[in-house]
């Protein structure tokens, strides 16, 4: 901190890069998933740099470029929403909640289609594999991914201060893994502060017949957990019995990539029962624990931008960690974008703190405590007097959170000084208030809003989603911006056609070549 406070080192934090990936379901006026294809006027999902689909043809995903300024990131995200909402069926809305609208079985959840190229088919087969492994309902839970990159100057400064003999890129990867370990230790705080999915429609439970969570019924069709912050991150959401057996190490890059590689190449009996093909058609990409790296569910991932045709695991191993992707954030249905600048500024403070704080490796006992802390906060984070575990000691969640907030104050003050603002300290102060008053949390505010809509999750989400969608459609878009996005859409269609025309081998050979890449060993 002393070094970073010097004016000559301010660029180390001024040049932080931010990017956001935000998902949202296209829904019909009767609150069901749209069954129509992704609109051509928006572009080709395989090749568009900013607008694609995630799991389902109805699940839009908006991807911003990276910006140093948080406001610029959010402004671009808003422009993507405005352009897209102007292109899709005017009767459709963009669902603003993480938990989905009315679901009518897997047959009514269309898997995303990326064209006839081998690359496109691989993406669709991967999603079909997810359906066979986990069911489709889990895959249409929406969220926000926050991408965060510290500049080379930051890592260079720390490298020189430590007099490390490591190559700078290796030191940078070590630093990111230290950040990740601390993130895992303290991620429960994010779930308390920003979890926004304590309620859902009962139709989602049809995909979870063995749910053991103590859900309560309110109204005719709504299920809640009174003290929950995020059903999305609970056992109802992104969980997997198969993946619970994985022991992915965050000690260093070598162990992490090795563990992932083994998971991608380790057969799994239940997935072998599904089979690779049926009547000549692929049912999944492989019968192994993971089809590809992205199947591994984690609240945070180390990332490196991959080159064309390069596997993410290869990019990471060969060129090191470039940024981290935060994956545990709910959509806040009370906000048009699901996230705002106040939350983003706190995330910056939190992540810088995680990078600077001491971060020993995580042994098995601590890993289990981390999992329990996260689960408790997700399921009952607003319960008065909730206790967590810190170094084998019971500690009040509120007190631990306030202690962390106090320890982050120097980071917030430094960011304020660098950016000539008080916005970061204001954000930190707001989170302190939220820790002292759980009624200020998004999860509590969602439950409060439910009461205004006859205790109906669907009615509440419909009103909010329609209001936000109308807001995006009403935003003026000048001709140059409209032309820019329209040309991107047209170019993406041309790019997809070129990829389809370039295929020279059959799909079986394409997959065999992809998985036979021995450089991953």
- Model confidence band, residue 209 (pLDDT cutoffs 50, 70, 90): confident
- Model confidence band, residue 240 (pLDDT cutoffs 50, 70, 90): low
C-alpha R_g of the chain: 23
pLDDT > 90? residue 103: yes
Residue 49 and residue 56 in contact, taking contact as beta carbons nearer than 8 Å: no
Structure confidence at residue 520 (pLDDT) = 46
The residue ranges of DSSP E strands in 359-479, in sequence order, are 387-390, 393-396
For residues 270 and 113, give the distance between their C-alpha atoms in angstroms, rounded to a whole number. Answer: 26
- Model confidence band, residue 242 (pLDDT cutoffs 50, 70, 90): low
The owner of tokens 């928006």 is 42
For residues 281 and 513, give the distance between their C-alpha atoms in angstroms, rounded to a whole number. Answer: 18
pLDDT > 70? residue 469: yes
Structure confidence at residue 287 (pLDDT) = 96
- Model confidence band, residue 419 (pLDDT cutoffs 50, 70, 90): very high
Structure confidence at residue 307 (pLDDT) = 87
For the whole prediction, is pTM greater than 0.85? yes
Structure confidence at residue 521 (pLDDT) = 42
**Angle CA(390)–CA(246)–CA(195) in degrees, nearest 5?**
50
> Which tokens hold the place of 338?
């699901």
**All domains in the chain, ordered by first residue:** 15-520 (3.30.590.20)
Structure confidence at residue 517 (pLDDT) = 61
Residue 319 and residue 304 in contact, taking contact as beta carbons nearer than 8 Å: yes
**Cα 420 → chain centroid:** 30
Structure confidence at residue 456 (pLDDT) = 96
pLDDT > 90? residue 286: yes
Closest listed residue to residue 77, CA positions, set 252, 335, 438: 335
For residues 203 and 105, give the distance between their C-alpha atoms in angstroms, rounded to a whole number. Answer: 9
- Other C-beta atoms closer than 10 Å to the C-beta of 505 total 11
For residues 58 and 24, give the distance between their C-alpha atoms in angstroms, rounded to a whole number. Answer: 8
State pLDDT tens for residues 138-169.
999 999 999 999 999 999 999 999 888 889 99
**Cα 424 → chain centroid:** 23
- In order of 56, 128, 333, the CA distances from 53 in angstroms are 7, 14, 20
Answer with the residue of higher pLDDT: 307 or 194. 194
State pLDDT tens for residues 319-374.
999 999 999 999 999 999 999 999 999 999 999 999 999 999 999 999 999 999 99
Over residues 204-221, the mean pLDDT reads 86
């Amino acid at each position: 901190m002393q070094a970073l406070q010097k004016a000559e080192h301010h660029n180390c934090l001024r040049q932080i890069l931010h990017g956001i990936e935000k998902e949202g379901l296209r829904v019909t006026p009767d609150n069901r998933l749209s069954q129509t294809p992704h609109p051509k006027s928006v572009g080709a999902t395989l090749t568009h740099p900013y607008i694609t689909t995630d799991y389902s043809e109805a699940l839009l995903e908006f991807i911003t470029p990276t910006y140093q300024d948080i406001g610029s990131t959010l402004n671009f995200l808003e422009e993507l929403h405005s352009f897209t909402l102007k292109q899709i069926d005017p009767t459709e809305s963009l669902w603003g909640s993480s938990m989905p609208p009315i679901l009518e079985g897997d047959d009514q959840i269309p898997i995303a289609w990326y064209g006839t190229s081998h690359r496109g088919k691989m993406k669709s087969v991967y999603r079909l594999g997810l359906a066979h492994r986990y069911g489709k309902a889990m895959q249409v839970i929406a969220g926000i991914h926050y991408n965060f990159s510290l500049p080379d100057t930051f890592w260079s400064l720390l490298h020189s201060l430590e007099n490390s003999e490591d190559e700078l890129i290796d030191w940078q990867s070590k630093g990111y893994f230290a950040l990740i370990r601390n993130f895992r230790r303290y991620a429960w705080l994010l779930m308390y502060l920003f979890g926004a999915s304590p309620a859902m429609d009962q139709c989602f439970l049809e995909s979870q017949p063995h749910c053991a969570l103590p859900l309560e019924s309110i109204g005719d069709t709504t299920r809640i957990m009174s003290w929950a912050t995020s059903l999305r991150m609970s056992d109802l959401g992104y969980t997997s019995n198969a993946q619970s057996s994985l022991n992915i190490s965050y000690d260093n890059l070598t162990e992490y990539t090795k563990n992932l590689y083994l998971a991608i190449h380790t057969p799994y009996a239940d997935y072998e029962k599904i089979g690779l093909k049926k009547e000549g058609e692929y049912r999944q990409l492989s019968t192994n624990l993971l089809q590809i790296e992205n199947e591994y569910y984690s609240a945070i991932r180390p990332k490196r931008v991959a080159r064309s045709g390069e596997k993410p695991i290869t990019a990471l191993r060969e060129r090191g960690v470039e940024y981290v992707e935060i994956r545990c954030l709910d959509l806040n249905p009370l906000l048009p974008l699901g996230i705002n600048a106040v939350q983003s500024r706190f995330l910056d403070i939190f992540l810088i703190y995680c990078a600077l704080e001491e971060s020993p490796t995580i042994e098995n006992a601590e890993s289990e405590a981390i999992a329990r802390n996260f689960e408790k906060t997700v399921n009952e984070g607003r319960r008065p007097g909730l206790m967590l575990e810190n170094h084998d000691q019971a500690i009040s969640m509120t007190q631990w959170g306030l202690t962390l907030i106090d320890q982050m104050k120097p980071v917030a003050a430094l960011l304020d000084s660098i950016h000539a603002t008080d916005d970061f300290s204001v954000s930190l102060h707001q989170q302190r208030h939220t820790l002292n008053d759980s009624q200020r949390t998004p999860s509590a505010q969602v439950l409060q809003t439910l009461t205004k809509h006859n205790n109906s999750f669907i009615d509440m989400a419909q009103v909010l989603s329609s209001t936000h969608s109308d807001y995006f459609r009403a935003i003026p878009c000048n001709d140059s911006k409209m032309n820019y996005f329209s040309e991107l859409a047209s170019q993406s269609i041309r790019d997809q056609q070129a990829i389809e025309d370039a295929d020279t081998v059959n799909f079986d050979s394409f997959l065999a070549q992809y998985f036979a890449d021995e450089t991953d060993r």
